[in-house]
Copies of this chain bind each other. A is one copy, B any other.
Amino acid sequence: MVTLAEVAQHAGVSASTVSYVLSGKRSISAGTRQRVERSIQELGYHPNAGARALASSRSNIIALMVPLRTDMYVPVMMEIAIAVATNARTHGYDVLLLTGEEGPDAVRRVTGSGLADAMILMDVELDDERLPLLRETDQPSVLIGLPADTTGLTCVDLDFGATGALCAEHLALLGHRDIAVIGEAPAVYERHTGFAERTLDGLRSRSRELGLRVLHRPCEGGYDAMALTLARILDERPGTTGFVVQNESAVEPLLALLRREGRAVPEDVSVIAICPDQVATQASVRLTSVAIPAQDMGRHAVEHLIAKLEGRDKDEVVLIAPELTVRASTGPAPAAP
């Protein structure tokens, strides 16, 4: 293991000089800098992370808390996690992966031990028990998701309210009048993760303005659950011609069931999905969709966190504007019979 001192000796300078070459916190003559850099190269020197953390009280690590559950939107979570890791690296940070298992204790542990300089929390619940802790430490943090009370917090999320509104507008514009929302599993609503409710609120209020009738049904996903849900919807509102699906695992079942029912997409009914682009393009019908911008969310989270670490930037809520991509699953409402 090569140390700073060895590099210093090899380059014929003092340890502090090497340190300043590395950090750039004091000016160094071009000659000295080059000699030091050559020595670093030749010896294959890597600064020791622990020593650095101890001396500077900064670990250059960002903690990322991911949900333990793997029941929902896993690819999105993964994409966010990878985006966080990649973006963090470009700012010189590494990412520590924490699962939700430890719960609030993980926040205490990481904050207390100086393991990480900052945290990113995913899958935030409306009344998340980690939030009080976060507020009382001075550890910078960013949430991905939106709790009920955002005072003193920085949050990044897709604007699900606007997403719902966008779906309503698109269907209204095509002449649909009766639409159904197929939502996440009931467990998701009970967990109060917020995004599902916000989508629904946005969709409902815009629908009211546009004169759309909305029926909302949570759905477990999978074929059997979807079959039941669809039957109930069509039973209650036979005239339903527009569907908004916010549940990855209900998308394909819905399409299959509509096909089986003899309802053509998009001739008889239109379907909008709220899902990653990959799902929308790989489905059996190329789906009109509002994408979940996982990459953007990860990037924004990191950038705001870095800003906070550097003392710029104050708390704020960043809502990413939704974008609706029209594909082959939506079309004009059929003429009333």
Contact = CB atoms under 8 A, between A and B. Distances in A.
Interface string A209-224: 0000000000001110
Identical chains bound together, number: 2
Interface string A1-19: 1100000000000000000
Interface in A49-106: 49-54, 57, 59, 61, 64, 66, 68, 70, 74-75, 77-79, 81-82, 85-86, 89, 94-99, 101-102
Given A70-B79, A252-B252, A97 B99 contact: no
B222 A281 contact: yes
B99 A96 contact: no
A46 interface: yes
A34 interface: no
Given A46-B108, A59-B50, A89 B113 contact: no
A109 interface: yes
Contacts of A61: 96
Interface footprint category on A: 35 or more
Contacts of A48: 54, 113-114
Given A85-B99, A102-B89, A252-B252, A59 B70 contact: no
Interface in A268-302: 281-284
A115 interface: yes
Interface in A244-259: 249, 252-253, 256
A152 interface: no
A39 to B, nearest CB: 15
A95 B97 contact: yes
Given A49-B53, A50-B59, A256-B284, 7 more contacts: A48-B113, A50-B51, A50-B54, A66-B82, A77-B78, A82-B99, A96-B96
Interface of A: 1-2, 44-54, 57, 59, 61, 64, 66, 68, 70, 74-75, 77-79, 81-82, 85-86, 89, 94-99, 101-102, 108-109, 111-115, 221-223, 249, 252-253, 256, 281-284
